[in-house]
Structure 1
């Protein structure tokens, strides 16, 4: 892996990806999926970069998961042939776009209500086509998704909509990010997987085939893949890792493929300084689990400035404070800092260009999708 991140010739704030570490992470998860006999659909909203999506497919992923139709359209244009839009789409306008996309790729759509299904089904039915749809299940996060108890009735109602074929269920088991330690993470992950398998069985009892049972979180992917009855996993952050994954025990600095490089632009007092990376570079996310925030405080890990934390952020400034023991170590203006983001998805979304490192040298750069990809 790269050992001299701060010496790389990248303008700051700059996003840097170590290609060897990225490939190692892609290969590891592809191996886990293959060993468990499940499909791997990495959540590509993490990066929204064509080169990385194609690389994931080339290294063993079966397709890509995305958050929005715009992302799916962009990845389809980049040559990806199997896509799952894991976010309910509603209305005839998006139905028309989805229909057009389904003629180019193997497409899965999402819903969590019969009303939403009825808003897209007629467009497909009128064209003599069928939308292959996944039903969102709330496994405890409290976001979109139907409750496990409601799932059989809603699945039957969705299946009855002309132009719709219900082919699976999916969830984002985001509650696993609250795990306090390894055993807690294992328990939460396995509970979510067993819940989803049970929901699938209850829906199949209604006469619906339902071949796909899909779970999606990097926190839990290594566990849920091996639960009998799970057929698909959709991790995203695993490709790069971040402080959240380090805190959970899923990653180390050596398996984290990404850094944001920033420059100290102000050091007015011994115990405070500012860098040129603010919320538009790193976001204001803390590590997900409150249990880990004492060990990993602040809004990103300052690898080469121990004792300093990013305490606050404005749009273009990271506010550094000394939280170490003894007198603050100096951070002269011009010092370059190596930062692991707390939430890697936000760093990609904010900076939208990654410098790619091979053998300690920047060899190319990858750009993220432009306007429209969030529609």
Structure 2
């Protein structure tokens, strides 16, 4: 195991999260750390004079979403219409569904939702926008929409050269008001170090502002320029012309954010607690947390995988690496120096997920810790929120 990961793991202080009385595999959130993270990003948004719409698909928990609003967020970003409906039912008043929706069925649900909340929808084609606009115009109203821009990730979104034509076409669709452009600047996660990350983030922000200017030159009013990635949020917020940021992971942090230099163990509000269930040989062991608890994601940037190997950072057993996973098992192997540190069967391990969104999606219930004691539990939304 790299010296970097060992040093970070050895920085853990005080009582181990693994001592908390939670069933394993279990998700744990530290309330104090969460609140500090929420306050930090809200302060960044205020200082940059941009809106903060945290991406709540990270957690899909009403309590967290409402807490983000209480701590200064302007609204929430979600991935699915069902998530928007669930957060609206919990009391959130401004929502952006940041995945294109298509068709009359989704349009009818969006129309009903728009009658109770300030709703913005996503699109990246005239055809998709028209399928939504038809329902809204029939009801005598309009759908607020933002155009997805591909900033290099190659997922949804139109390219910069096509954006003016597509935006103009959508602007002319009955029942649609085009209010902005948005992107997920996911390529910033490939940064090799923090200066590279800052450079990539600033470039992504400038790119989006440039795209907005070309669209405005076609006579399309475009008040919102929105970017969304925890990796880059601290930098893109201060790019002139950016008006909105949509980070998600920042609230909790994970190994990916630690590797990028955006976080440390002290600012990571979440752990997965697992139990050693088998230790058949000195150099290998098995835990009860597999891909259904932690996922098989590696640290996003390959440049950091030597320093942060495996599928999660084991805080209280440095030198051990989660090398493989099956659905219910994590396969550990010793990568440290010298003889392996024993892992007695029954020992509980404190693990920082590589990708916190997947831990939430898999485990769905979190034990909430305040000053070292469990004070309650928060549950994620049910399957209907995935629609």
Aligned to 2:152: 140
Give the secondary structure class of the aligned counterpart of 2:151.
coil
- After TM superposition, give the deviation of residue 3 of structure 1 in Å: 3.6
Aligned to 2:239: 227
Q: Which runs of 5+ in 1 are unaligned?
A: none
List structure 1 segments (4+ residues) > 3 angstroms apart after TM superposition: none
Aligned to 1:215: 227
CA offsets 1:240-287 (integer angstroms, 9 cap, x no match): 000000000000000000000000000000111000000000000000
2:133 is the counterpart of 1:121: yes
Query: Could you tell me how far apart the structure 2 residues matched to 1:366 and 1:131 are?
Result: 33
Tell me if structure 2 keeps the 8 A contact 1:170–1:215.
Answer: yes
Aligned to 1:263: 275
After TM superposition, the score normalised by the length of structure 2 is 0.96
2:319 is the counterpart of 1:307: yes
Query: Could you tell me how far apart the structure 2 residues matched to 1:368 and 1:360 are?
Result: 22
- After TM superposition, give the deviation of residue 118 of structure 1 in Å: 1.2
Aligned to 1:60: 72
Query: Could you tell me how far apart the structure 2 residues matched to 1:10 and 1:4 are?
Result: 13
Tell me if structure 2 keeps the 8 A contact 1:4–1:360.
Answer: no
Tell me if structure 1 keeps the 8 A contact 2:16–2:316.
Answer: no
Aligned to 2:355: 343
Trace 1:153-302 onto structure 2 (pairs within 5 A): 153-302=165-314
Give the secondary structure class of the aligned counterpart of 2:27.
strand
Give the secondary structure class of the aligned counterpart of 2:39.
helix
Query: Could you tell me how far apart the structure 2 residues matched to 1:260 and 1:3 are?
Result: 15
Tell me if structure 2 keeps the 8 A contact 1:42–1:65.
Answer: yes
After TM superposition, the score normalised by the length of structure 1 is 0.99
- After TM superposition, give the deviation of residue 2 of structure 1 in Å: 7.0
Across the aligned residues of Structure 1 and Structure 2, the Cα RMSD in angstroms comes to 0.7
Tell me if structure 1 keeps the 8 A contact 2:309–2:321.
Answer: yes
- Count of matched residue positions in the alignment of Structure 1 and Structure 2: 375
Q: Which runs of 5+ in 2 are unaligned?
A: 1-12
Distance verdict in 2 for CA 1:2–1:141, change over 3 Å: farther
2:116 is the counterpart of 1:85: no
Give the secondary structure class of the aligned counterpart of 1:86.
strand
Query: Could you tell me how far apart the structure 1 residues matched to 2:222 and 2:112 are?
Result: 24
Give the secondary structure class of the aligned counterpart of 1:354.
strand
- After TM superposition, give the deviation of residue 190 of structure 1 in Å: 0.5
Query: Could you tell me how far apart the structure 2 residues matched to 1:88 and 1:214 are?
Result: 15
CA offsets 1:306-339 (integer angstroms, 9 cap, x no match): 1100000000000001111111110010000000
2:55 is the counterpart of 1:37: no
Give the secondary structure class of the aligned counterpart of 1:373.
helix
- After TM superposition, give the deviation of residue 208 of structure 1 in Å: 1.0
Query: Could you tell me how far apart the structure 2 residues matched to 1:52 and 1:226 are?
Result: 26
Query: Could you tell me how far apart the structure 2 residues matched to 1:200 and 1:103 are?
Result: 29
Q: Paired residue for 2:368, among 356, 365, 374?
A: 356
Query: Could you tell me how far apart the structure 2 residues matched to 1:223 and 1:89 are?
Result: 29
CA offsets 1:114-146 (integer angstroms, 9 cap, x no match): 111111110000000100000000000000000
Q: Paired residue for 1:73, among 85, 89, 106?
A: 85
Query: Could you tell me how far apart the structure 1 residues matched to 2:132 and 2:32 are?
Result: 42
Tell me if structure 2 keeps the 8 A contact 1:2–1:359.
Answer: no
Aligned to 1:317: 329
